[in-house]
């Protein structure tokens, strides 16, 4: 089973600050996905990155897939309290369809 | 709302008991996946069904079993429950294997 390591595990910042969270692996992934999960809810897909070096933007969120397809990052600009949640990265396990998830970064944005 | 429904939302039971969790996938989705989420292990894949047939197994205990019915809903059966089985159980569905997975709201299981 391929592993995904996420850092930091916890992050607490003030509204308006910028932040970056990371998702790393020693294995190559064909694609990586980022999800956000709020308390009492299931994970919601934010983006899928497929090509090495790819950058995708979703409003204030910027996602990057590493050139070697072993890592990814999520950058949030001017964080808002609504960004609070658990951010998970996931990818297909050894080419299979089930997803392997990182343990997530729990973000808290304080107004 | 992802379109995936799970019942019940909460379940409290005792050790040694058996429970059944139910999942209805999004309309048109043929694949159903079950995941377990605990604080220390994160989200772990349990099992995948496609159009009624088992496609892949993950870290699913022998005490756990699942099936997908002709109407495509799925059930996850957990038996001889232990304290460590307390977790959130999520169902996800996709149109085809490898497609985008949409997650349900989960069932929170507490074993006392």
**SS3 per-residue string spanning A44-93:** EEEEEECCCCCEEEECCEEEEECCCCCEEEEEECCCCHHHCEEEEEEEEH
What per-residue confidence (pLDDT) applies to B74? 98
DSSP 8-state symbol, A27? S
- Of all residues in chain A, the one with the smallest CA distance to B92 is A42
Asked if residues B46 and B6 have their Cβ atoms less than 8 Å apart, the reply is: no
- Interface probe, candidates A37, A97, A104, A105, chain B, greatest B C-beta count within 10 A: A97
Please say if the pLDDT value at position A17 is more than 60: yes
The predicted-structure confidence for A48-80, as pLDDT tens digits, reads as follows: 999 999 999 999 999 999 999 999 999 999 999
Mean pLDDT taken over chain B: 94
Asked if residues A102 and A86 have their Cβ atoms less than 8 Å apart, the reply is: no
What per-residue confidence (pLDDT) applies to A106? 96
Provide mean pLDDT across the span B3-11. Answer: 96
Q: Give the closest-approach CA distance of A41 to chain B in angstroms.
A: 5
Distance CA B56, CA B46 (A): 9
What per-residue confidence (pLDDT) applies to B106? 96
Provide mean pLDDT across the span B42-59. Answer: 92
* Range with the largest mean pLDDT of A67-76, A93-102, B52-61: A67-76
Q: Using CB atoms, which residue from B55, B101, B104 is nearest to A99?
A: B101
What per-residue confidence (pLDDT) applies to B41? 79
Would you give the distance in Å from CA A2 to the centre of its chain? 16
Provide mean pLDDT across the span A90-102. Answer: 80
Please say if the pLDDT value at position A93 is more than 80: no
For B40, phi then psi, to 5°, come to: -90, -25
Yes or no, beta carbons of A101 and B42 under 8 Å apart = yes
What per-residue confidence (pLDDT) applies to A37? 95
What per-residue confidence (pLDDT) applies to A97? 65
What per-residue confidence (pLDDT) applies to A95? 56
């Amino acid at each position: 089973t391929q592993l995904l390591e996420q850092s930091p595990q916890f992050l607490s910042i003030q509204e308006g600050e910028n932040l970056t969270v990371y998702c790393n692996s020693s294995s190559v992934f064909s694609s990586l996905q980022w999800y956000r999960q709020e308390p009492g809810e299931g994970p919601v897909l934010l983006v899928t990155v497929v090509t090495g070096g790819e950058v995708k933007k979703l409003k204030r969120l910027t996602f990057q897939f590493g050139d070697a397809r072993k890592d990814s990052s999520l950058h949030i600009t001017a964080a808002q309290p609504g960004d609070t949640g658990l951010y998970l990265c996931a990818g297909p396990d050894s080419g299979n369809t089930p997803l392997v998830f990182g343990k997530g970064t729990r973000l808290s944005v304080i107004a | 709302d992802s379109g995936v429904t799970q019942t019940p939302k909460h379940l409290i039971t005792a050790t040694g008991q058996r429970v059944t969790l139910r999942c209805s996938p999004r309309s048109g989705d043929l694949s159903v996946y079950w995941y377990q989420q605990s604080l220390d292990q994160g989200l772990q894949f349990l099992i995948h069904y496609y159009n009624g047939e088992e496609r892949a197994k993950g870290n699913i205990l022998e005490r756990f079993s699942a099936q997908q019915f002709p109407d495509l809903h799925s059930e996850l059966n957990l038996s001889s429950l232990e304290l460590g089985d307390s977790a959130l159980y999520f169902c996800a569905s996709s149109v085809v294997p490898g497609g985008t997975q949409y997650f349900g709201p989960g069932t929170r299981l507490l074993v006392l």
